[in-house]
Homo-oligomer: A and B are copies of this chain.
Amino acid sequence: MAKNKNTNSLSSMPSTVTTQMIAELAGVSQSTVSKALAGGYSLRPKTRQRILEIARRLNYHPSGAARALVSGRNECIGVSYMHGRVPSDLFNQILEGVHEVFFACGYTTTTLMAEGETAVPRLVRDRLVDGLVIGFERDRELESFAASVGMPCVLVNAPPTEELDCVTTDNVGGVAAAVAHLAELGHRRIAYVSTWSHDPVSRLVCQDRARGYLQAMASQQLPACPVASPGTPVMDSLGSLLALPQRPTALVCFNDEIAMMTIKALFQRSLHVPRDVSVVGIDNLFASEYMIPSLSTLEIPWRQMGVAGAELLWQRLQEPHRPRQHKVLSPRLIIRESVASPPA
């Protein structure tokens, strides 16, 4: 195909440099070149030097494909999530955590955007990744395919399984801490603003958080406000909370997005945050700090979750049959301007 048509004499042609070429230039065999580059073989230092020098001059880099073919490993791991369903802020932090760990191991990190229910991403199907981090949502198709080819997986911030390594956050404890803090400030009528989401995972998480809310209210000996059934539009459930005979003075929202919408809705009803109502979100989005008032929130350690997941995955790559692990990280309560003592 005239692919290596080295028509001109300059040695810096873009055509691919192979160990074979280096071998010819160095006057040795191809295998010797490979040994020189790999190290750990017995080669005369002079020969090795000559080879390395030529390789350097030609800007040689091994073909990833060839190496992957022979070694059976691609030194690449995939990070999967359902894009569009999660603020990219959050996912990117997980991704960076994963990247940080694997970059140090010389591995590449790549994002798999799961396309809804469609085909298993090519990277997995064609064994182009050695392991998988599944974020935010269990992709059952991906999971079972990975299992069928024996590819290690770790779930990060997704509903845990008995079979796979997992990293999750303590939703129950986190929400409880938020409620406790509000109670400490003197709030007695504290409500939980649920998600509207139809997707099953958000519902699960939402139920966890609702449970945290209810438990905390109970242990604080406070009467709980009704928790909207999953699927109820936010504005509806917010509306009914505000229409209660005893209007809540503090709202813990399912996440920061909903907290933002809530603050806006309160504003439109001439309710001032935090003078009339305190609001707490969950996630600590980038923007939360810049809202007016700045948003109090449960910071989920996204990046750390990525790091933890990557570490679990790395360990499993080294030792495929080690016992399954489940790490639980704790969120941290960040109090900003959207929270104050209740009105007198």
Q: From A25-33, A123-131, A196-204, A208-216, give the one contacting chain B.
A: A123-131
Knowing A109-B113, A111-B111, A287-B286 are in contact, say whether A92-B103 is a contact too (CB < 8 A).
Answer: no
Flag A87-103 by CB within 8 Å of B: 1 or 0 each.
11101100110010001
The copy count of this chain in the complex is 2
Of A59-67, A163-171, A187-195, the segment with at least 4 beta carbons within 8 Å of chain B is: A59-67
**A106: chain B residues within 8 A (beta carbon):** 122
User: Chain A interface: which size bin?
Assistant: 35 or more
B residues less than 8 Å from A115 (CB atoms) = 103
Q: Is A72 an interface residue (CB 8 A)?
A: yes
Q: Flag if B99 contacts A92 (CB, 8 Å).
A: no
**Assembly CA distance A72 to B260 (angstroms):** 50
Residues of B within 8 A of A62 (CB): 126
User: Would you call B64 and A127 a contact (CB within 8 A)?
Assistant: yes
Contact of A263 among B72, B96, B260, B292 (CB under 8 A): B292
Closest 5 CB pairs of A and B: A287-B287, A64-B126, A14-B150, A88-B92, A110-B110
With A65-B68, A291-B291 already in contact, 5 other A-B pairs whose C-beta atoms are closer than 8 Å: A16-B127, A59-B148, A264-B290, A286-B287, A292-B292
Chain A positions near chain B (C-beta within 8 angstroms)? 3, 12, 14-16, 59, 61-69, 72, 74-76, 83-84, 87-89, 91-92, 95-96, 99, 103, 106, 108-111, 113, 115, 121-123, 125-128, 147-150, 257, 260-261, 263-264, 267, 285-287, 290-292
